[in-house]
Amino acid sequence: MKAVIGVLLLLCVFCNDSVSTSERPHARESFVVDSPQNQGTCTYTLTMRTSCLSSSSTRDQISLTFGDAYGNQVYIPRLDNPNQRTFTRCATDTFQLTGPCTYQICYVYIYRRGTDGLRLKRATIQGYNMRPVTFEYHANIPSGVWFGFNHCQSGGYKRATYS
């Protein structure tokens, strides 16, 4: 029994060592929000879970962009709504978004501007005729920079979690 537990612990150590920095969210200062291409209009559901370590609420401006490996991009200039208390601690906020149609989503970036802060646990995006994709942040969103994931160039979508 001790041998089995020892092997499992050893495997966990190697698993933790194999996590690359590309699996964590990163800042992308040179990111450019593209003009929408003529791909039609689609509806998306975005679910964002804030961490219980986040500030009690935020008045910061929160923007979002996501897209596919073919250059199709959705840009949402304001997700926050001070009148509806979005992004409070330990909360799940769901948004219905409309934007250009995409294929399978493989990147997402969040932009925060302000001083309150936001610690995001995860973001899940669903759209018509595509699998839901979850991006695990578990990080403070820095102010003044696009912050997120781009798994489009890493051999497809294997780094994102699909439901």
Inside any domain, residue 12: no
Inside any domain, residue 18: no
- Residue-wise pLDDT for 112-138, tens only, equals 999 999 999 999 999 988 899 999 999
Inside any domain, residue 64: yes
| Distance separating alpha carbons of residues 56 and 53, to the nearest angstrom | 9
pLDDT mean across residues, the chain:
78
Inside any domain, residue 112: yes
Lowest mean pLDDT among 5-19, 37-51, 76-90: 5-19
Query: What residue has token string 């997402």?
Result: 108
CATH number of the domain bearing residue 111: 2.60.60.20
- Residue-wise pLDDT for 47-66, tens only, equals 999 999 888 888 899 999 99
Name the domain count of the chain.
1
The pLDDT of 22-51, averaged and rounded, is: 75
Inside any domain, residue 143: yes
Inside any domain, residue 97: yes
Inside any domain, residue 156: yes
Count other C-beta atoms under 10 Å from residue 1's C-beta: 5
The residue range of the domain holding 86 is: 25-162
Inside any domain, residue 14: no
As separate numbers, helices (DSSP H) first and strands (DSSP E) second, the chain gives 1, 10
The pLDDT of 101-109, averaged and rounded, is: 94
The pLDDT assigned to 33 comes to 65
The pLDDT of 31-37, averaged and rounded, is: 60
> Which two three-digit tokens encode residue 57?
């609420």
> Which two three-digit tokens encode residue 156?
């497809």
pLDDT at 12 over 60: no
Side-by-side strand order, sheet with 41-50:
92-100, 41-50, 119-127, 133-140, 161-162
pLDDT at 2 over 50: no
